[in-house]
Structure 1
Amino acid sequence: MRDCAAEQIEDVQGRADARAIAIDKVGIKNIRHPVRVRDRSEGHQHTIANFNMYVHLPHNFKGTHMSRFVEILNAHTREISVESFKDILLEMRTRLDAESAHLEMSFPYFVMKKAPVTGVESLMDYDVAFVGESTGDHYEQTIKVLVPVTSLCPCSKSISQYGAHNQRSHVTVQVKANQWIWVEELIDLVEGQASSQLYGLLKRPDEKYVTEYAYDHPKFVEDMVRDVAAQLKADDRVDWFIVESENFESIHNHSAYALIEMDKRDGQ
């Protein structure tokens, strides 16, 4: 048999490309890997993350080496964390000889919550993502958290003799910070501005409390994003943010939506 390992195998990806068109992002999507993230109450939390990993490809190269992305992930075994995020990006640039790299890590994050009256405990899950960009000496990281809450319509409350329609809302916050911010801090911020927060488990006294609390704290979708944005604007740790809210209407077959973006570094 021929000894293939001893033969010189051509690097097809390394061939020259004559089309003279660079590719902004090339790499792999939706690869799952265990990760460890910082947890405010427990220290660390282990979960499973979905990774998207891309690099810039110069115009003169035919392709990138896809297997190296997987090698980089597996080299970190189970110790991938927020702290090692920047190191992975730099390793991507080095291993793939790229001028820039982009890394996305999305995962479910769990918080133990107590019901407001009975104190019964249950887990709530939130969708969290970390996005990193590395180009030259510049590194930037964004934290993104989706927080499900309850919103109750002020107009419905005002014009109705009894009751008011409410809905579940998804409030998404993205921040670029100059200091560490806990995921739980962003969750707390959003839940504090909602008509009511959600819980995994409620007993009857809790359900009564949550229903009445929401009725006493009506919020339009516009109120939601403005109130959250006001908190982020006042936080000196936050340089840039996007806050958006989608209210899944209970009396319409469409959603209500609002978004605010602010770059505090530009004074905007």
Structure 2
Amino acid sequence: MKLVASPDVQASQPTVQISLSRVGVTGVEKVIRVAHQLFWARLECFVDLGPRQKGAHMSRFEETVNDVIGEVILNEEAFRAEMLAVRIAELVRERQGALRAEVTIAARYPEYKPAPVSGIRTQEIYTMFGGAVAAESGTRRLVGVAAQGMTACPCAQQLVAGAARERLDEHGFSDDQIEQILDDVPVATHNQRGLGTLHIGCPEDCDVELDAEALLGIVENSMSSEIYELMKRSDEGAVVEKAHRRPRFVEDCVREMVLGVVDELPILTDQHFVSARQENLETIHQHNVVAERFGLLGELRHELGTGEHAARHTSMREWMDGRG
């Protein structure tokens, strides 16, 4: 029996000939083992679509993801989400015949760290982000992390401290004694669990490698205190006291993240992209609070150095599309 070749429907011309910005797949989930460590990853893959192509070959996305994950397992000693995204984006672009391909990855993984006083070993779950856009001009990549911490509200702390000063004054304490007491005893305030996210974008032909652990350190240090899944009483006391001695608004956390990038990653150029975001889960309100700052590192350095407002805040979308 003679086999009849199936027509390539996706390559035919659509009825309405207009290009599409992004066509692809979302919610692709994989478990990846690299160097005896497991990562749970969620991926999205997209290509642009020209006005004369009816559709993308959806099965090729899944095939490419599986092929590249196989390469990573065989050849890598450490998992780097952004480099996985780069390889998938470049291969997807080639296999789909697209001008542009975009891939984003969110990978959850465990890290072990000691509690601050007891040193008890505790497992913390972090999120690593990787992103890449492959185009004719080259490939841009994005590396990021997300971590949780604790913040203590400066405003409420000042209100509580003011009331404490009045009561201590009524009891006959001197001004110097009152200040010494308030310095020795951390003043109460309401606190929040904070969710910090930091992304760094690397332009085409950039060979700088960013360590996720270093980025996590910047994020966690931006908040009033780190948090730990498992703690002894001594650890709980240390965490609460540290947080109340470093009260920070949601805005403070974002500014500390940006400053941490500038101070701790001097190897980055002005063309690198930075996005810092903090969300605090409120305890005395039903709403949450959010702050963000994004832009080219050159924009951020200029503003930090001069104190002048930068009129341009390049967004992640603009940077990924090569418009920043």
When the two structures are superposed, what TM-score results if normalisation uses the length of structure 2? 0.75
- Residue 116, structure 1, aligned to residue 141, structure 2: no
Alpha-carbon distance change, 77 to 134 in structure 1, aligned in 2, over 3 angstroms: closer
Mean CA deviation greater in 202-211 or 83-92: 83-92
- Residue 236, structure 1, aligned to residue 233, structure 2: no
Matching residue within 246, 268, 274 for 1:217: 246
Preserved CA contact (<8 Å) 1:127 1:146: yes
Which residue number in structure 2 is paired with residue 248 of structure 1?
281
What letter corresponds to residue 222 of structure 1 in structure 2?
E
Alpha-carbon distance change, 197 to 30 in structure 1, aligned in 2, over 3 angstroms: same
Secondary structure at the counterpart of residue 180 of structure 1 = coil
Aligned pairs for 1:161-172 (under 5 A) are 161=164, 163-172=188-197
Which residue number in structure 1 is paired with residue 320 of structure 2?
none
- Residue 60, structure 1, aligned to residue 52, structure 2: yes
Which residue number in structure 1 is paired with residue 90 of structure 2?
90
What letter corresponds to residue 205 of structure 1 in structure 2?
S
Structure 1 gaps, min length 5: 38-42
Aligned pairs for 1:54-203 (under 5 A) are 54-80=46-72, 82=80, 83-160=83-160, 161=164, 163-177=188-202, 178=206, 179-203=208-232
Q: Take 2:146 and 2:84, find their aligned partners in 1: how far apart are those partners? A: 23
Structure 2 gaps, min length 5: 73-78, 165-186, 303-309, 311-324
Which residue number in structure 2 is paired with residue 40 of structure 1?
none
In the TM superposition, residue 25 of structure 1 has moved relative to its aligned partner by 0.9
Which residue number in structure 2 is paired with residue 16 of structure 1?
13
Q: Take 2:69 and 2:188, find their aligned partners in 1: how far apart are those partners? A: 54
Q: Take 2:40 and 2:146, find their aligned partners in 1: how far apart are those partners? A: 17
Aligned pairs for 1:34-49 (under 5 A) are 34-35=31-32, 45-49=37-41
Q: Take 2:36 and 2:85, find their aligned partners in 1: how far apart are those partners? A: 15
- The answer to which structure has the higher strand fraction is 1
What letter corresponds to residue 260 of structure 1 in structure 2?
R
What letter corresponds to residue 164 of structure 1 in structure 2?
T
In the TM superposition, residue 35 of structure 1 has moved relative to its aligned partner by 2.9
* RMSD of aligned Cα (Å): 1.9
What letter corresponds to residue 29 of structure 1 in structure 2?
T
Preserved CA contact (<8 Å) 2:276 2:293: yes
In the TM superposition, residue 18 of structure 1 has moved relative to its aligned partner by 4.1
What letter corresponds to residue 64 of structure 1 in structure 2?
A
What letter corresponds to residue 125 of structure 1 in structure 2?
I
* CA displacement 1:42-70 (0-9 Å, x = unmatched): x7733121111111110111111101111
In the TM superposition, residue 20 of structure 1 has moved relative to its aligned partner by 2.3
Preserved CA contact (<8 Å) 2:85 2:105: no
Q: Take 1:73 and 1:90, find their aligned partners in 2: how far apart are those partners? A: 11
Preserved CA contact (<8 Å) 2:128 2:145: yes
In the TM superposition, residue 77 of structure 1 has moved relative to its aligned partner by 4.9
Q: Take 1:167 and 1:69, find their aligned partners in 2: how far apart are those partners? A: 40
What letter corresponds to residue 119 of structure 1 in structure 2?
G
In the TM superposition, residue 116 of structure 1 has moved relative to its aligned partner by 0.5
When the two structures are superposed, what TM-score results if normalisation uses the length of structure 1? 0.90
Secondary structure at the counterpart of residue 76 of structure 1 = helix
| Larger Rg over CA atoms | 2
Preserved CA contact (<8 Å) 1:36 1:78: no
Mean CA deviation greater in 13-22 or 70-79: 70-79
What letter corresponds to residue 190 of structure 2 in structure 1?
H
Preserved CA contact (<8 Å) 1:151 1:194: yes
Alpha-carbon distance change, 217 to 29 in structure 1, aligned in 2, over 3 angstroms: same
In the TM superposition, structure 1's runs of 4+ consecutive aligned residues that sit over 4 Å from their partners are 265-268
In the TM superposition, residue 195 of structure 1 has moved relative to its aligned partner by 0.7
In the TM superposition, residue 95 of structure 1 has moved relative to its aligned partner by 0.8
